[in-house]
Structure 1
Amino acid sequence: MKNILIINAHHKYPFAEGRLNESLVSRAREQLQAKGHQVRLVEIDKGWDVDAELESHKWADVVLLQTPVNWMGVPWTFKKYMDEVYTAGMSGALCEGDGRHQEAPKKNYGAGGTLKGKQYMLSLTFNAPQEAFNNSAEYLFQGKGVDDLFFPMHMNFRFFGMEPIETFACYDVMKNADIEGDFKRFEKHLDTHF
């Protein structure tokens, strides 16, 4: 059985209260605990303690990041969490600096992670339809996929030495939602990877 840290990165706005992300977190927690996994949860909008978050990252075998996509990235409150928690983790909790050494200062940038053998999973909620991705005829993403868009987030976890679990995404959640279908796909995704 695994230790799983779930991060609910949603930040509430009047037009987006976070019910879908909250429901996905709740479903993940219940499904994973039912399989015997230990689960910890941090809800970014409720605040955090840096030391406790570093300990949770060291404890976790898997970090599951549940987040809406706001302006092609994570909400600003999660970016603040990253700036505070992940910067504090540079002194050995998450990584030993940036991986470079005095004898070879131009090599191995980003290879100092101390969380090798651990995994992470991105679970994203998009206003964009699925058809907007991986399609060079579509305007915005120019043939790029979800993981291309979230390349910087993948690199943050790689910086700590972690390996990815396949990304999950809900699409078109504001204008043409299929919430029940998303829940079924999410359950299957968790069953497949956990």
Structure 2
Amino acid sequence: MNVLIVYAHPEPRSLNGSLKDFSVKRLEDAGHIVQVSDLYAMNWKASLDANDSLDRQPGARFDPSLDSKRAFKDGRQSQDIALEQEKLRWADAVILQFPLWWFSMPAILKGWVERVYAYGFAYGVGEHSDARWGDRYGEGSMAGKRAMLVVTTGGWESHYSPRGINGPIDDVLFPIQHGILYYPGFDVLPPFVIHRTSRIDEARFAGVQDALGKRLDDLWKTAPIPFRPQNAGAYDIPALTLRSDVAADQIGFSAHIE
């Protein structure tokens, strides 16, 4: 299988760097083909702007969505964007690996999403009508592919527990897992999270490697998070709210998981 690791940490000798190298070796030893987009090493441009389209008229008003749509449709995107899109097409599975900074991914990785997820590539696809609202949330250009987060945090596991001060880790990661990965159709696996990174000694590092290795070995066996598909009947369209008889006693993120 083809695996793309999109990696965002500025220090190659960090815990993240060591785990990324471990993942590449583990996957390749199992016979998989691996590509790594090391965003800091690539000097990835994080900001989505007018320069992402190669044929804009000087002085023209920049419209992020419409310019993205035209550039993707006409093959006039900047080359760095097009190359990353090709990697996504190639991949059977995608791993996003990053440290949790201020309750989200590093800016460079968010910028990768904003630029690579072009209109017509990852969003704005499919029929929009009173029966369907596009190919998204379980459908779309990434349907049939798997995705997983590998995330490190400085906080304790208890800080991200159901009653922890930082909020449940599944809630913290919901915008990424549901909104960035499930939206264009990925089957999203439960995340692999390493807590309290500043307290990892040699023995604990060995345990983290073992646990991550098992997750990588089971990349095609692990059941995905059972997010509710948008167009399968659970949601009223075009309001895109859950039907009154679906998860009637639930609100918030958990209502969107079967």
TM-score normalised by structure 1 residue count: 0.83
- Residue 43 (structure 2) aligned to one of 26, 41, 47: 47
Q: What letter matches 2:7 in structure 1? A: N
Note if 1:130 corresponds to 2:157: yes
- Residue 184 (structure 1) aligned to one of 186, 202, 210: 210
Residue in structure 2 matched with residue 72 of structure 1 by the alignment: 103
Q: What letter matches 2:190 in structure 1? A: E
**Structure 1 spans left out of the alignment, 5+ residues:** none
Note if 1:118 corresponds to 2:145: yes
Q: What letter matches 1:104 in structure 2? A: D
Note if 1:28 corresponds to 2:37: no
**Inter-partner Cα distance in structure 1 for 2:191 and 2:95:** 10
Alignment check: 8 A CA contact 2:154 2:197 kept: yes
**Inter-partner Cα distance in structure 2 for 1:110 and 1:192:** 26
Question: After superposition, what is the alpha-carbon deviation per residue over 1:82-130, rounded to whole angstroms, capped at 9, x for unaligned?
Answer: 11111x2x22x334x15551x3398458356211110101000010111
User: Cα distance, 1:9 vs. partner?
Assistant: 1.5
Residues 193 and 109 (structure 1 numbering): CA distance in 2 closer, same or farther, change over 3 Å? closer
Q: What letter matches 2:144 in structure 1? A: G
Tell me the secondary structure at the aligned position of residue 121 of structure 1. Answer: strand
**Inter-partner Cα distance in structure 2 for 1:80 and 1:73:** 12
**Structure 2 spans left out of the alignment, 5+ residues:** 45-79, 221-258
Runs of 4+ in 1 over 6 A off after TM superposition: none
- Residue 173 (structure 2) aligned to one of 144, 150, 162: 150
- The count of corresponding residues between Structure 1 and Structure 2 is 179
**Inter-partner Cα distance in structure 2 for 1:148 and 1:179:** 26
Tell me the secondary structure at the aligned position of residue 150 of structure 1. Answer: helix
- Residue 194 (structure 2) aligned to one of 158, 170, 173: 170
Note if 1:8 corresponds to 2:7: yes
**Inter-partner Cα distance in structure 2 for 1:39 and 1:140:** 34
Alignment check: 8 A CA contact 2:135 2:184 kept: no
Tell me the secondary structure at the aligned position of residue 54 of structure 1. Answer: helix
Q: What letter matches 2:89 in structure 1? A: K
User: Cα distance, 1:135 vs. partner?
Assistant: 3.8
Residue in structure 1 matched with residue 232 of structure 2 by the alignment: none
**Inter-partner Cα distance in structure 1 for 2:158 and 2:215:** 20
Q: What letter matches 2:101 in structure 1? A: N
Alignment check: 8 A CA contact 1:66 1:122 kept: yes
**Structure showing greater Rg:** 2
Instruction: Using CA pairs under 8 Å that are at least 6 residues apart, name the structure with larger relative contact order, 1 or 2.
Output: 1
Q: What letter matches 2:34 in structure 1? A: V
Alignment check: 8 A CA contact 1:73 1:150 kept: yes
- Residue 63 (structure 1) aligned to one of 79, 89, 94: 94
